[in-house]
């Protein structure tokens, strides 16, 4: 078990490293902070669930589309995409841009970028699985800021009404949105109450703790969809980026790039 957890830890480190590398090599500003906050979340999802391109499979939907750097990295780490491909990130005409563009052959399940839409789509998939008596799961990752979108809560109601115990949502509570720190009403603590209020099975945890995340997925309900409220740090792993919202969308210079790699390595020890 410990060996397994260490392997996922290594994967999270690798995801972060690739995020920094492709962001720097693109030469363009990109969404680094919100990608770094969800590295463990993705490492766990891609290790714990049966995610592949063939059917039947568990399906991962990135609703916070601006976390695409993290998705692209995990897809590379899990051999969905070749290394030279990921360096096309944010090059003119590339399919790898700030937000996912659906390409099921390489594991990108949806096009996204407009917030608040992924959960409804996930509900549709989860209802399909129930109808087909397919035991697969659907996992949707949203941001805490994204939860201001009303459509998230529309979908939350449909999920409980249909007893979708095959549906998981992970709320990446990094405490920030585009314009800065998130309001108290949408804090980690309040977020738990909100999902409970909507009738979900709620497990909250440290979103950077691998075994806590695995446990949160394990503690599913027999009848309810599960919300995992993950407390995270925006920019996690790179000291000068942590909780610094300038890195919601920022450009790495060569010096900052080298400093980021050093910081990542130091923090991974």
- Using CB under 8 A, list all residues that contact other proteins: 102, 110-112, 114, 116-117, 119-129, 131-132, 150-151, 154-155, 157-158, 161-162
Mark 65-98 as b/e (b = at least 16 C-beta within 10 Å). Answer: bbbbbbbbbbbbbbebbeeebbbbbbeeeeebbb
Looking from the CA of 31 toward its CB, the CA atoms found within 13 Å total: 23
- Nearest distance in Å: CB 107, other proteins: 14
Closest contact distance (angstroms) between CB of 130 and other proteins is 10
Our CB check for other proteins shows the closer of 162 and 163 to be 162
Let me know: does 8 contact 43? Beta carbons within 8 Å. yes
- CB-wise, 128 or 215, nearer to other proteins? 128
26: its two tokens: 């693109």
Radius of gyration over every alpha carbon of the chain, rounded to an integer in angstroms: 17
Name the minimum Å distance from CB 224 to other proteins: 17
Quick one: DSSP state of residue 183? P
Closer residue to other proteins (CB): 126 or 216: 126
Residue with smaller CB distance to other proteins, 117 or 204: 117
Q: How far is the CB of 226 from other proteins (least distance, A)?
A: 18
């Amino acid at each position: 078990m410990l060996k397994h957890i260490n392997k996922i830890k290594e994967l999270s480190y690798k995801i972060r490293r690739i995020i920094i590398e492709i962001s720097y090599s693109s030469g363009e500003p990109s969404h680094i902070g919100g990608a770094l906050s969800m590295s463990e979340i993705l490492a766990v999802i891609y290790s714990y669930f049966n995610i592949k391109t063939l059917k039947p499979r568990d399906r991962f939907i990135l609703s916070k589309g601006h976390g695409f750097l993290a998705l692209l990295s995990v897809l590379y780490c899990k051999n969905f995409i070749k290394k030279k491909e990921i360096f096309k990130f944010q090059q003119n005409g590339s399919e790898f841009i700030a937000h996912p563009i659906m390409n099921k052959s390489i594991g990108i399940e949806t096009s996204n970028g407009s917030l608040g839409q992924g959960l409804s789509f996930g509900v549709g998939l989860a209802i399909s699985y129930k109808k087909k008596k397919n035991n697969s799961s659907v996992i949707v990752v949203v941001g805490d800021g994204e939860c201001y979108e009303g459509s998230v809560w529309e979908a939350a109601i449909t999920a409980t009404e249909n007893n979708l115990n095959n549906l998981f949502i992970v709320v990446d509570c990094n405490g920030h949105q585009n314009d800065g720190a998130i309001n108290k009403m949408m804090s980690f603590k309040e977020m738990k109450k909100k999902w409970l209020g909507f009738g979900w099975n709620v497990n909250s945890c440290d979103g950077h703790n691998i075994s806590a995340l695995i446990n949160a997925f394990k503690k599913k309900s027999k009848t309810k969809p599960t919300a995992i409220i993950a407390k995270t740090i925006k920019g996690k792993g790179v000291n000068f980026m942590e909780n610094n919202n300038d890195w919601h969308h920022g450009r790495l210079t060569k010096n900052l790039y080298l400093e980021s790699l050093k910081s990542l390595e130091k923090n991974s020890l």
